[in-house]
A and B are shown apart, each in its own frame.
Chain A
Amino acid sequence: MHEALARSNFDRDVAHLTSRFLESRNWTVNELQFPILDVTFLGSHPLRMRLSCDNWDELPPNEQILNVDGSPWVGPPTSPSIFNMPHSSRRNAFICTPGFRGYHTHSSHTSDHWANYRGKDGNNLPGLLDQLSRAWRKIKGV
């Protein structure tokens, strides 16, 4: 995918990260420069998601689950196991739900292609993070 197109798709999506949107979700943006989107879900159990959006949206974002200080999140895996580890090939923590590269490249899910989800309403970059944020808050009871 041409970088200019990926950048255009990225810019289109992150334009929805307005102050009103971020306030409603209780998120803060740590870094926002193509191809990186780095957001913290604030609250009593904060969590940071760093997405590398190279080739967006031909490929899903490559996710890193981080603690607030930027150190790697080391689990334990949640139940349900959306925030999971270790990945079958890259061995680190990954997001085990459609829309994230860790899921679609995991040996258990390689037949569930990103093409099944790409471009659908709610699966843009803020939408994918919305799903994660909601899952995290449900799991943590906040």
Chain B
Amino acid sequence: MSDHDHNDGGHHHTEPVAVAVITPSGTFPNDDDYRRSYDGEHVEKVLKAAAVHLHLTNTDDWVAYVDNRPIDPAKTFAENDLCGIVEIEWHKHEGGGGA
């Protein structure tokens, strides 16, 4: 599991979280590994790192899910009730319908 700087604006970090961000344009950190994060870290920080790694430049309307449950990237992993091994599905929001 890859490590990183987990100083995130003074939040308390207690438990490590193993995170993968799985998108239609690739997986962060890669297809075989997880990134070490901490439960006090905001999810959006990991998503931003994934966007840079995967060369995604327009993710404003993307949505994040874990186990088919939407999560709030502006909140921490703990605030999203996420711990342990976390695989985030991240993709563009579905469009509406109507003909």
Query: A: which residues have CB within 8 A of B?
Result: 16, 18, 20-21, 24-25, 78, 80-84, 88, 96-99, 103, 106, 108-109, 120-127, 129-132, 134-135, 137-138, 142
Contacts and interface: CB of A to CB of B under 8 A. Distances in A.
A88 B95 CA distance: 20
Contacts of A120: 58
Contact of B92 (A84, A108, A109, A131): A131
Band of interface residues on B: 20 to 34
B97 A122 contact: no
B94 A138 contact: yes
Interface in B9-67: 20, 22, 24-27, 31-32, 56-59, 61-63, 65
Interface of B: 20, 22, 24-27, 31-32, 56-59, 61-63, 65, 68, 87, 89, 91-99
Contacts of B92: 121-123, 127, 130-131
